[in-house]
Amino acid sequence: MSNRWWEIVVKCEPILEESVFWRLEKFGCSGTATEIEILDDEKSIELESSINEQILIRTYIPEINTQLLDLAALSVWLEQDAKLLEVSVPEAKWHLIDEEDWATNWKQHWKPAEIGDRFLIYPAWEELPEQSDKLILRLDPGAAFGTGTHPTTQLCLESLEMRLYKDPQNQTIADLGAGSGILSLGSILLGAKKVYAVDTDALATKTCRSNWQLNNVNRDSLIVSDGSIEKLIETGETFDGIVCNILADIIVDLFPKFNQITHEKSWAILSGILLTQADQIADVVEQQGWTVAALWKRKDWCCFNIRRSEY
């Protein structure tokens, strides 16, 4: 008899997407995917909201690891997170499915997508196109964050296009909170000399290594390690660039150590930041002697392109 899985579906406002992803990851969920639900005017009025779209976040967790009381607790945590951000409480539902269904259920909601001017993100299980003028980045996110569908990931990839437009072969980059490895792989496809990817989640680093093999990346070009910024400090490397797509509060905690792993002309890309948190991040950046070169926005999210000095 096959193991069964809980399929959890969370319906929420777009502004909650990152915090819901984070909460589900902490809960132990795998294979998370997002769908957009467009609301008609009548439904918007019913919800007492001017928002004309909601998102459906679909994810999975083994039945053996999770009891109904655990799922009830998850619902409470999601409610508390929403109240902190002063937005509508998300609706969470769950039901059991067979293991063989889980293997295909969430994947049918994720299709190839063009990002920026150069990238084509391709699910590992999709047949590759015969011809493409794009950089094809093959991906199986497994239990890690980063499929390219989230605005923060898209903003980071587009920022990398800009940063690595000239002389990428001389750039050594740190990917802090690498997740599926999508930003590390994107950097290498754009021509970066070397990328060091770290994540505190062992499942994420395992997924990152799998995607490195999936894209036939040179073994010496991508170094993947468990850990955080302390691991990067231990390498003794001085990085030309840092990409960091994690929650704003974690960026605030880590940023004072950025100067230990960079030089006076280094740059960084920061995302995973709500628009409402932009001022807080800008203050931290400036306090540490960095300059905000550009602030890009998409939906409720923003991405900081910063540098250590004028040049």
Residues 46 and 169 in one domain: no
Residues 165 and 260 in one domain: yes
- Do the beta carbons of residue 153 and residue 182 sit within 8 Å? yes
Query: From CA 46, how far away is CA 48, in angstroms rounded?
Result: 5
Predicted pLDDT at 37: 77
Residues 192 and 264 in one domain: yes
Residues 147 and 291 in one domain: yes
Residues 90 and 146 in one domain: no
Confidence band for 241, pLDDT divided at 50, 70 and 90: very high
- Do the beta carbons of residue 188 and residue 171 sit within 8 Å? no
- Do the beta carbons of residue 113 and residue 55 sit within 8 Å? no
Q: Which two tokens stand for residue 286?
A: 């400036």
**CATH assignment at residue 93:** 3.30.70.120
- Do the beta carbons of residue 92 and residue 103 sit within 8 Å? no
Range of the domain at 181: 138-307
In percent, how much of the chain has pLDDT > 90? 54
Residues 249 and 156 in one domain: yes
Residues 142 and 103 in one domain: no
Predicted pLDDT at 48: 47
Q: Determine, yes or no, domain membership for 127.
A: no
- Do the beta carbons of residue 245 and residue 277 sit within 8 Å? no
Confidence band for 119, pLDDT divided at 50, 70 and 90: very high
Confidence band for 39, pLDDT divided at 50, 70 and 90: low
Q: Determine, yes or no, domain membership for 159.
A: yes
Q: Determine, yes or no, domain membership for 59.
A: yes
Q: Determine, yes or no, domain membership for 126.
A: no
Q: Which two tokens stand for residue 134?
A: 């794009």
Instruction: Give the 3-state secondary structure of residue 179.
Output: coil
Burial of 95 (0-12, 13-18, 19+ CB in 10 A): exposed
Domain finish residue from 107, 129, 149: 107
- Supply the mean pLDDT for the chain: 87
Query: From CA 23, how far away is CA 245, in angstroms rounded?
Result: 16
Q: Determine, yes or no, domain membership for 171.
A: yes
Instruction: Give the 3-state secondary structure of residue 259.
Output: helix
Query: From CA 183, how far away is CA 188, in angstroms rounded?
Result: 9
Confidence band for 42, pLDDT divided at 50, 70 and 90: low
Number of domains in the chain: 2
Q: Determine, yes or no, domain membership for 118.
A: no
Residues 169 and 58 in one domain: no
Residues 101 and 225 in one domain: no
Predicted pLDDT at 28: 86
Nearest partner of 53 among 67, 34, 72, 76, judged by Cα? 34
Residues 43 and 153 in one domain: no
Q: Determine, yes or no, domain membership for 119.
A: no
Q: At what angle do helices 202-214 and 182-189 cross, to 10 degrees?
A: 30
Q: Which two tokens stand for residue 215?
A: 């894209």
Q: Determine, yes or no, domain membership for 112.
A: no
Residues 192 and 277 in one domain: yes
Query: Which strand ranges, in their side-by-side order, compose the sheet holding 222-226?
Result: 222-226, 194-199, 172-176, 239-245, 262-274, 301-307, 291-298
Residues 148 and 13 in one domain: no
Query: From CA 49, how far away is CA 27, in angstroms rounded?
Result: 29
**Would you say residue 81 has pLDDT above 80?**
yes
Q: At what angle do helices 68-84 and 17-27 cross, to 10 degrees?
A: 150
Length of the chain, in residues: 311
Domain finish residue from 87, 107, 127: 107
**CATH assignment at residue 276:** 3.40.50.150
Q: What is the DSSP letter of 109?
A: G
List pLDDT tens digits, range 201-225. 888 899 899 999 999 888 899 999 9
**Would you say residue 125 has pLDDT above 50?**
yes
